[in-house]
Amino acid sequence: MAELSETYACAPSTERGRGILISGDPKTNSIVYTNGRSVIIRRLDAPLEASIYGEHAYQATVARFSPNGEWIASADLSGTVRIWGRHGDRVLKNEFRVLSGRIDDLQWSPDGLRIVASGDGKGKSFVRAFMWDSGTNVGEFDGHSRRVLSCAFKPTRPFRIVTCGEDFLVNFYEGPPFKFKLSQREHSNFVNCARFSPDGTKFISVSSDKKGIIYDAKTGEKIGELSMEDGHKGSIYAVSWSTDSKKVLTVSADKTAKIWEIMENGNGKVKTTLACPGSGGLDDMLVGCLWQNDHLVTVSLGGMINIYSATDPDKTPISFSGHMKSITALACTLQSGEKAILSSSYDGVIIRWIQGIGYGGRLARKDNTQIKCFAAVEEELVTSGFDNKIWRIPLNGDQCGNAEPVDVGSQPKDLNLAVQTPELALVSTDSEIIMLRGLQVVSTIKLGYSATASTISPDGSEAIVGGQDGKLHIYSIDGDSLKEEAVLEKHRGSITVIRYSPDASMFASADANREAVVWDHVSREVKLKNMLYHTARINCLAWSPDSHLIATGSLDTCVIIYEVDKPASSRITIKGAHLGGVYGLTFSNENSVVSAGEDACVRVWRLVQ
């Protein structure tokens, strides 16, 4: 039996030049955002408590809590809105195809009965308001000619809706049923976000022309603007009101967040500028914000979430992040005496996680190339990307030293370290295997077959290479030379992964035809067979530290854990471990399996006997 003990959630997916609209539930202090096809709910005061919904068929773009906090409406690229229960089995209440293109923003009415959604569509349909239970239209929304980036529902009666978008317009509608009342042309660039104040007296729109304009919520007339003095120097992407409706928080591409005081006459002046931690690179541009209770939340382009205190904004913010793209590799290492989980994603980000704490910082590399293969020992990382180079990166806590590359001539397929002598590395490319000592290529062997996976024994005395033909070729390593000793045949598909057990008494291999096999190291006989319980290609496998358990992760989203001394049928299966497939597995101790996958999340599973 395996139970989920921790989830290290992904960061919100962001896009250059666009804001992201995160939303919150003040009662439970939670926020909700999207990444890929997942919708993530997180508690601000307990970032490890994350729950993830993955039922969208297309990439999710925006999600909102209902006013009572019991339901969530989430929308995706195809223009579909799903309304589902937040607790328990996440029951699907309704699914509506609202627009013909992507939905950029949606809002609930304060009574929770209507939803307005805006985005991209064909013809003139960029906005729609509908009843949450039946999907019937509640109004006509004319007046926009291009994509509508944001919409807002007035939180008090009489109801009003305001929309804004890429045609520089802010449109005001009265209802229900809603009909066009007036259009404001105060902005000279994309209008990124519009929000009503919680007391329902005003609304504000912010734009890429660096301006913020405040309007009367009943009539839609302009009453003031945010002062340009000490204002933002870049596009303003998002805005959020304080609960007392007297202040707003804005974030901008100039890498700052500002708190503005909205005065009685409707104008706003800067009260505080929040300096955001970071190196000041592109990734520190701020694209999303939320003012919730005493928390000020900002989201940067690189996916970093900073939480400030509204009562003491000068206090150092709490920062946490996660991966934004699919995780391709996972390793568990000892760093200065404590266990750390390292995960690397396709875009070259390496993140350190600490069990029980969660986010432990990004490993900042000088050279941020993409990562395909990745191996780690206590003081060193070895990575390879798509540029034929192997990088050895010295590790010092969460800092990386100066990396040294070595060119191996073609793209590495697999990369392994001899654990007891980590300067020895084995690299397999499509047609050869290369042995490295430090940064020195000491041996290269041309293969007569196409290699797909490889491994090296912990003491560095033996190597195994798996081929596309499903055969395992065993090589002995003598000094710097490799000699083929045996060929093992059992697999019916191309080999995807091979790993030695930590005590080197066994090794395991898995193939694209969903089968895994455990072999005895000395006799080279099959030790555990019939491991055929996945329904798709096996991507990764891992041994427990005591060599007693073996876990396999597959494209079918499942993780299966076998005991070596028991038949394969007495297995533990974790179904739906990661949306889109499992790509990384490791054990952090005898009873904890860590998995990672295409949903950019890392999960820790506790095995209960």
pLDDT at 17: 83
| Residue numbers of the chain with a pLDDT score lower than 70 | 278-279, 336, 397-398
How far, in Å, CA of 413 to CA of 497, rounded? 11
What is the reported pLDDT for 246? 92
Distance (Å, whole) CA 68 – CA 27: 9
What are the C-alpha distances in Å from 411 to residues 325, 347, 385, 407, 510? 21, 17, 8, 9, 22
Residue 533 — left, alpha, or beta (φ > 0 → left; ψ -120 to 50 → alpha)?
alpha
153 closest CA partner among 51, 40, 244, 23: 23
CA–CA separation, 565 and 374 (whole Å): 30
Of the CA atoms within 13 Å of residue 137, those in its CB half-sphere come to 11
pLDDT at 259: 92
CB atoms inside a 10 Å sphere around CB 356:
10
Distance of CA 538 to the CA centre of its chain: 22
Residue 192 identity = N
| Pair of tokens at residue 431 | 């047609």
What pLDDT was estimated at residue 369? 77
Report the alpha-carbon distance of residue 602 to residue 9 in Å, rounded. 7
pLDDT at 148: 93
Total count of residues recorded for the chain: 609
Residue listed under structure tokens 């520089």 = 168
Task: State the Cα–Cα distance between residues 535 and 552, nearest whole angstrom.
Answer: 12
Separation CA 598–CA 507 (nearest Å)? 26
Give the neighbor-by-neighbor strand order of the sheet with 170-174. Answer: 148-153, 160-165, 170-174, 179-184
How far is it, in rounded angstroms, from Cα 65 to Cα 83?
10
* Phi, psi dihedral angles at 283 (to 5 degrees): -65, -15
H/E element, 478: strand 471-478
